[in-house]
Every structure is written in structure tokens, then in C-alpha cells.
Structure 1
Amino acid sequence: MKIKIPPPLVALIFAGTCYLLAKYLPVGEFEFFGREALMYVMFGIGVVIVLIALFQFFKKKTTTNPLNPEKASSLVVSGIFKYTRNPIYLALLLFLIAFALKLGNAFNTVILAGFVYYMNHFQIRHEEEALTKLFGKEYKLYLKATRRWF
């Protein structure tokens, strides 16, 4: 199955769902000391992760296009990729967490879980299959050594 929705657009769709839920669900609002600070921390960590990951892709001169993982020219397994196989998706999740914190509705955690489910089943699985075909045993060893998210 070829993925047709770019992951940043998927994240925007889930963010829109979070917004609608927070706006129209009459329950679930929350507030706690440090919520706004935590929101900025989550967003900031996401920005740092995305920049590091993109730098490593460009350094290895390989594709950053998640819609065509079969076009990867090299396997990136060092740096941030030593700790997470999907740092850009992790960053998107951190952005969604930051947005959910801004909205302040506890039920948005369900939407965040839906994002992780969607990415695991409809994006990451496709990428892993393509990269296994492309890089074989080297990629299989990487799969065993490094966690999918963190």
C-alpha cells in the first residue's frame, strides 16, 4: 500500500480534531501549575529533534520524503537515530502534545493515542517494509537495536 497523506498533514488533521474536541466537548477541561511552561518545553524539544534529524538526513544525502521510503540512498542509524527510528514522527507527536496542553482538554489524549496508532499502522509499517527490502539484514539489525518511538 502506498501512503498518500504526508505525515505533517496527518498531524494537522489530528490537531484539528483536538481543537474541535476541546471546543465542543463540555467536559474534560484541566489546568495545572506549569502547563504553559510544559507546552513550550514539548514544542521546543520537538523543534530540536526535527532539526537534528533533518541535518542527519542531509548529511547522509538521503531522502526526507516519507511517501517514498524506497528512494532512500543510505540508512541513517547514528546520532538521534540511535535512540529513535522515527525522530520526525516523535517531534510531530511532541507538537501535538504541546497543542493539546494549550487547549487544556484531557480527552485530547485519546486523539494523541490515535495519532500514534495511525502512524504505526499506516505510515511506519510501510516505511519499515520498504527499508527492509532496500537494506536487508542491516535494517533488520537496526530494528532490533532501536525502538520505534523512543
Structure 2
Amino acid sequence: MTETASRRFFDVPPVWLVAALLLAWMQVRHFPMGLSFGPVWADLLGGLLVGGGVLLMSLAVMEMRRHQTSFHPHHDSARLVQSGIFSRSRNPIYLGDMMVLTGLILYWDAVLSLPLVPLFLWFLERRFVIPEENRLRRTFRMDYARYCEKVRRWV
């Protein structure tokens, strides 16, 4: 595997999600600073967000497989998927990543890690969402423009 190919292989959102989760976990383990979200509500909301995020990602991957197109962020799409969960969000996998990160930060009581959420969103948009949208815009032209008018980027 060439250096560029291996870099692209590892430059995928799940790797960055794991990195952000490791930072949050290390923060709560080594620098909790006595901060907490509260006893029960953070665990419940955190669990719901993680479960919802995993469900969202699973629905998106199944829909993309059903349409026989790639869900790898650096590959060109064979088809513009607009059905299923993609009729509600143009980026359900990235939205699921955000939900998992937020949910685990809440569940772990990693209060000081909350700024990772908007930073991770900013990073996903710059590194993956905008380049993907540009490729889809070039490939599917008017179909993609109509899709963008109907469906929002996130929710």
C-alpha cells in the first residue's frame, strides 16, 4: 500500500471519532476537576444519543449498500442516494458520529470535553463534508442541486 493510499485508508471519520473519544476519555480519567453533568439525566441522554447515532449510521450504510454506492468519504459515488434516511439528512453518518461523541461525553461525565463537539463538527465539515459535496455537485449537477433544496445538510 502506498503512503497516499494508506493515508486515505486511515483518514476516515471513524478514526477521527475514536481519536476524539480517546481525548474525552483521557480528560475524564486524568482531569475530571470534580465537574459533573448530574446523576441520571446525562447517563440517559448519553445512552439515547449513542444508540440513536449508531442506528442513524446503520440506516445510512444499509441505504447506500442497497443503492450499490460507496460510503467511503474519499471515493466517488455511483449514485445519488435520496431515499430512506437520506430524505431527512444529507449527512446521516456524520450526524451519527456527532451523536455518538456527544452521547459518550455526557455518559462519561467528561464536562471539559464538551468543546470537542463543535470542534469535531467543524473538522468533519472541512475535511469530509465540503469535499464530498463538491464531488457530488460535479457528478450529479442539477439532481444534486434539487436534492440540496429539498434536504438540509444536517437535520
Report matched runs for 1:122-137 at 5 Å.
Answer: 122-137=127-142
Q: How far 1:27 moved relative to its partner?
A: 5.3
CA contact (8 A) 2:47 2:104 kept: no
- 1:67 & 1:32 partners in 2: Cα distance? 41
Instruction: Choose from 100, 115, 121 the match for 1:116.
Output: 121
- 2:71 & 2:37 partners in 1: Cα distance? 37
- 1:33 & 1:14 partners in 2: Cα distance? 24
Instruction: Give unmatched runs, 5+ long, in structure 1.
Output: none
Instruction: Choose from 36, 39, 45 the match for 2:46.
Output: 39
Instruction: Choose from 136, 143, 148 the match for 1:143.
Output: 148
1:57 paired with 2:64, answer yes
Residue of structure 2 in register with 1:23 after alignment = 29
- 1:81 & 1:132 partners in 2: Cα distance? 16
CA contact (8 A) 2:43 2:107 kept: yes
- 2:37 & 2:30 partners in 1: Cα distance? 15
1:99-140 deviation digits (Å, cap 9, x = unpaired): 101221322220011110001111100100111111111112
- 2:141 & 2:107 partners in 1: Cα distance? 42
- Residue 122 of structure 2 aligns to a residue whose secondary structure is helix
The number of equivalent residue pairs is 146
Residue of structure 1 in register with 2:20 after alignment = 14
Residue of structure 1 in register with 2:106 after alignment = 101
Instruction: Give unmatched runs, 5+ long, in structure 2.
Output: 1-6
In the superposition, the TM-score normalised over structure 2's length comes to 0.86
Higher relative contact order (CA 8 A, sep 6+): 1
1:51-77 deviation digits (Å, cap 9, x = unpaired): 211111111111111121x2x111001
- 2:146 & 2:27 partners in 1: Cα distance? 41
- 2:56 & 2:118 partners in 1: Cα distance? 20
- 1:42 & 1:125 partners in 2: Cα distance? 25
In the superposition, the TM-score normalised over structure 1's length comes to 0.89
- 1:32 & 1:146 partners in 2: Cα distance? 37
Q: What is the RMSD of the two structures over their aligned residues, measured on CA atoms? A: 1.6
